[in-house]
Amino acid sequence: MSATPTGAQQPGAAYTFQEAAEDIRRHAFAVVVDNEPGVLARVIGLFSGRGYNIESLTVSTVTEDESVSRITIVTSGTEMVIEQIKAQLARLIPVHDVHDLTIEGDVIEKEVALIKVVAKEHQRRESLRIADIFKATVADTTLESFVFQIQGSPGKVDSFVELMRALGETEVARSGVVAMSRGAGVISAE
């Protein structure tokens, strides 16, 4: 999506200096929000308005009464930008809690994808074989196509999609990343 221009313009400032050699790192955030109208627009508007990246964004309610949602956002930036993103998210009124999962410890990131491959003969057989290796399942089949369902880390999904592209015409739908910290610590949805 919207990438920061080289020379790193500082979000919110008119000046285009510095940050030459700073590391850009990828972070996964879990944002616990009130499930009210407009909350997702607030989050997305904040990212576009301040020029931050969104690599992936997923959202769903996570409580029984559907009053609270959890948004998983994968973004990237320098340490200062990441810190700013966290502070800006926390500033939104309906936001309960913001967790930078990447700095809070080991994080599990998973994604689901559906990949349709239109292929014949050797390519068709090959696609099945690869699906088997990746533990992808067949969600639909015709004589000239498969729809594979795969789940796993974004990297695994990337590799699978890349291989399938080599075998025929493809259509890809990906869920985006959901993430959670390893271990017994719980992020409450209150």
Give me the least distance between CB of 105 and other proteins, in Å please: 22
**Cα dihedral value 125, 128, 130, 135, nearest 10:** -170
C-beta closer to other proteins: residue 88 or 145: 88
Give me the least distance between CB of 72 and other proteins, in Å please: 18
Q: Which spans of this chain sit near other proteins (rule: CB under 8 A)?
A: 10, 12-18, 34, 37-38, 41-42, 45, 49, 80, 83-84, 87-88, 90-91, 93-96
Residue 89's nearest CA partner among 72, 109, 68 is 72
Residue 181's nearest CA partner among 110, 107, 104 is 107
Q: Which helix (H) or strand (E) holds 4?
A: none
C-beta closer to other proteins: residue 18 or 141: 18
**Structure tokens of 173?**
């739908």
**Structure tokens of 138?**
């067949």
C-beta closer to other proteins: residue 88 or 181: 88
Give me the least distance between CB of 5 and other proteins, in Å please: 12
